[in-house]
Structure 1
Amino acid sequence: MNETSERHANVVLIPGDGIGPEISDAVIGILDAAGARIDWVRCEAGGEVFKRGDASGVPAETVEAIRRCGVALKSPLATPLGRGERSANVTLREKLKTFAAVRPVRTLAGIRSPAAHVDLVLIRENYEDLYIGMEYDLGEGVLAALKVNSERNTRTICRTAFDIARSQRRRHVTGISKSNILKKTDGMFDRIFDEEAARAHGIESGKLLVDAAACRLVQTPERFDVIVTSNLYGDILSDLTAGLAGGLGLAASVNLGRGVAMFEAVHGSAPDIAGRGTANPTALLRAAVLMLDHLGLHDAAGRIEAALALVFGEGRVRTADLGGSASTSEFARAIVEALERAEPDADRLRWSASASEHDPVESQLPDDLRNYVAGVLSRGI
């Protein structure tokens, strides 16, 4: 028997909001057709939870289920605008203690994109920086937001980047900061990056300022291999790299935590097209391929990856965002049919976070950081 007939995996599925349920159903159908034996545990988060009055957008049952299974596949979540609720995505990351957001970015044959060749992994710190959420109205029309960076979390993300580079047979890691202006916070990032680079034997490294990095990514993205950076810069650059490779509709991501991995599409819930059956499920499907590799279901992952490449290469079936007219279900059906014709690459590089599936340094959690900073501020710096 092959691996897919022998192994079952329990995976939490969060169908999400907007187009989320449509693309989730399409992806589940493709995984089933590829022989991936998964027992789905359906859980809620996002819009419907907010409507019931849960300001977190994330029920405790969902968090407990993900911790129990260790793996989740998540469609886009919506956060109500103008009502003060925090992003359900941020809440999930904090509750699950996912310290790293990892974005593999690679151009697909047959897809027009601004860059001819992109093949990199961007690793973003997930806990702190300006996303710590400490903003203040100082009066007189003056407002402030705190950029909070800790040595422990910076070391975690830098060490994770070198661990992933090694597990993915990558040769070079670029650390990105703005240390010429932010001499303490980003200066610390540079120092720790250099320390972690020194212990990562066999992997080359270098540093760039974030503005220079953005320019070089646009001009020569093929020169980048692995990128590691702090939360805000990573949020911006990850979307830039996705755009270079064809857009957010094709981009997948994984959030790594302590014994937890959450795989997701990075685009929004697109409420304007929800229910029309026209959404492109590719980003969530690529996230699912990463998830299958993570679970050890490599045969199914390879078959789906090859089928997706075949459909895009033939160019006959595409959703509207890629210049076609296929519905979500028609696109999914084309992938399923291609499973029988596609030839998986025997030498394909399987996704593995290796040692970085576990927090390599005991990180400082966001609530702990907020409490620490608030205490220091109350005493006066």
Structure 2
Amino acid sequence: MPVNEPSTGATALAIGVMHGDGIGPEIVPAAVAVADAAAARAGFGIEWRELPFGASAIGTHGTPIPGETLDALSGLDLWVLGPHDSAAYPVEFAGDLTPGGVIRKRFDLYANLRPSRALPGVAATAPGIDILIARENSEGLYADRNMAVGSGEFMPTPDIALSVGVITRAATQRIAHEAFRAAQSRSKHVTIVHKANVLRLTTGLFRDVCREVAADYPDVRVDDFHVDAMAAMLVRLPEQFDVVVTENLFGDILSDLAGELAGSLGVAASVNCSSRQAMAQAAHGAAPDIAGRGIANPVAVIGSTAMLLRWYARRAGRADVRGTADRIDAAVAATLAAGVCTPDLGGSATTAVFTDRVLANIADS
């Protein structure tokens, strides 16, 4: 893909892009086109470095996550990842870590940030919802993230299955700081989610360390909920929450719930990040049942790409990049408000029609 040269001398961004499986090759190019257009309006260019990944990489490289892809990612700060359908890979890959998981683990992308906000034109169960879930992404109750070698699940006999959950002070501290920093630019309220009444040592440690970190942010209000109560409260009173910080499995479940309350997982954006690198990755899956039909919803991956640019703008002090992210979000919101949406949101627009309308809104902004 050609490099877009910046028109005002601003530094171009180099972003790795992996289209992925299923609807990925349809929605990721939409995000690329939208980001290109918005960046051009701000006077800088983006160099997209397409990298082999997923089912297509199995055909060309014999693996869904080639070494050359990982090597290329090492030299980049920003990446856009399409969805992967690892369940459909050949049987020899069945026991492997998913390709997205390989990236997260290799680069220690310890924070998964998942906002859920009702959008104009999208029928939301909770129209007032506007929260950010800061999900610890490197340990917790997910077995594939708990052992240096192998998995945290094991079977001493064919009839007994065990799983090891891991919570550490260091990992909890860094996700807590991520959550509190985010809250300072939002409504200054953090909710810690745990299950310390039952998992006293593990999620109790998570709760207590988050409260210790809270002392560094005296301007932020803090409360905490058990995860089951939190699920109920999200349905009943989502407006009372701002930033939610929690461990891996709880964060995965609660963010999917919040995404549906906001209207659909099809609009649920997400980034995985460390303090140095970030990857845009929509919260939804590869949707192989609609792949190739031209009706996939690109909102989530476009929103994830805007989040990626906003993450970079904060780190680099780039007002032009932040303005680009804002322009993308505004163009998507205007498109949805005009009633232009894909069939999953009740509309009739194709992926291309929706993308073209977003591009037109960017051109008019």
TM bin, normalised by shorter chain, reads: 0.7 to 0.9
Match of 1:113, SS state, is: coil
Q: Conserved in 2, the CA contact under 8 Å of 1:78 and 1:88?
A: no
Match of 2:154, SS state, is: strand
Q: Which residue of 2 aligns with 1:7?
A: 11
Q: Report the Cα offset of residue 169 of structure 1.
A: 3.5
Match of 2:250, SS state, is: helix
Matching residue within 326, 329, 333 for 2:352: 329
Runs of 4+ in 1 over 3 A off after TM superposition: 2-5, 49-55
CA distance, structure 1, for counterparts of residue 255 and residue 60 of structure 2: 33
CA distance, structure 2, for counterparts of residue 111 and residue 221 of structure 1: 17
| Structure 1 residues 190 and 300: alpha-carbon distance in aligned structure 2, compared to 1, 3 A threshold | closer
Structure 2 unaligned residues grouped into runs of 5+: 1-5
How do 1:229-248 and structure 2 match up within 5 A? 229-248=246-265
- Provide Cα deviations, 1:291-315, integer angstroms capped at 9, x if missing partner: 2222431332222222211111111
| Structure 1 residues 84 and 4: alpha-carbon distance in aligned structure 2, compared to 1, 3 A threshold | farther
- Provide Cα deviations, 1:12-35, integer angstroms capped at 9, x if missing partner: 011111111111122222222321
| Structure 1 residues 181 and 53: alpha-carbon distance in aligned structure 2, compared to 1, 3 A threshold | farther
| Structure 1 residues 111 and 318: alpha-carbon distance in aligned structure 2, compared to 1, 3 A threshold | same
Q: Report the Cα offset of residue 148 of structure 1.
A: 1.6
Identity %: 37
Q: Report the Cα offset of residue 140 of structure 1.
A: 5.8
TM-score w.r.t. length of structure 2? 0.87
Match of 1:138, SS state, is: strand
Q: Conserved in 2, the CA contact under 8 Å of 1:99 and 1:157?
A: yes
Q: Which residue of 2 aligns with 1:33?
A: 37
Structure 1 unaligned residues grouped into runs of 5+: 343-381
How do 1:151-300 and structure 2 match up within 5 A? 151-166=169-184, 168-293=185-310, 294-295=312-313, 296=318, 297-300=321-324
Amino acid at match of 1:325: S
CA distance, structure 2, for counterparts of residue 171 and residue 303 of structure 1: 25
Q: Conserved in 1, the CA contact under 8 Å of 2:186 and 2:242?
A: no
**Is residue 114 of structure 1 aligned with residue 114 of structure 2?**
no
Q: Conserved in 1, the CA contact under 8 Å of 2:85 and 2:286?
A: yes
Q: Report the Cα offset of residue 75 of structure 1.
A: 1.2
Match of 2:52, SS state, is: coil
Q: Conserved in 1, the CA contact under 8 Å of 2:190 and 2:223?
A: yes
Q: Report the Cα offset of residue 173 of structure 1.
A: 0.4
Q: Which residue of 1 aligns with 2:3?
A: none
| Structure 1 residues 212 and 95: alpha-carbon distance in aligned structure 2, compared to 1, 3 A threshold | same
Q: Which residue of 2 aligns with 1:64?
A: 71
CA distance, structure 2, for counterparts of residue 53 and residue 332 of structure 1: 31
| Structure 1 residues 39 and 47: alpha-carbon distance in aligned structure 2, compared to 1, 3 A threshold | same
Q: Conserved in 1, the CA contact under 8 Å of 2:296 and 2:350?
A: yes
CA distance, structure 1, for counterparts of residue 217 and residue 130 of structure 2: 21
Q: Conserved in 1, the CA contact under 8 Å of 2:111 and 2:137?
A: yes
| Structure 1 residues 140 and 84: alpha-carbon distance in aligned structure 2, compared to 1, 3 A threshold | closer
State the number of aligned residues: 338
Q: Report the Cα offset of residue 5 of structure 1.
A: 6.2
Matching residue within 24, 27, 39 for 2:28: 24
| Structure 1 residues 64 and 94: alpha-carbon distance in aligned structure 2, compared to 1, 3 A threshold | same
- Provide Cα deviations, 1:121-144, integer angstroms capped at 9, x if missing partner: 100111112222311112261111
Amino acid at match of 1:93: R
Amino acid at match of 1:84: G
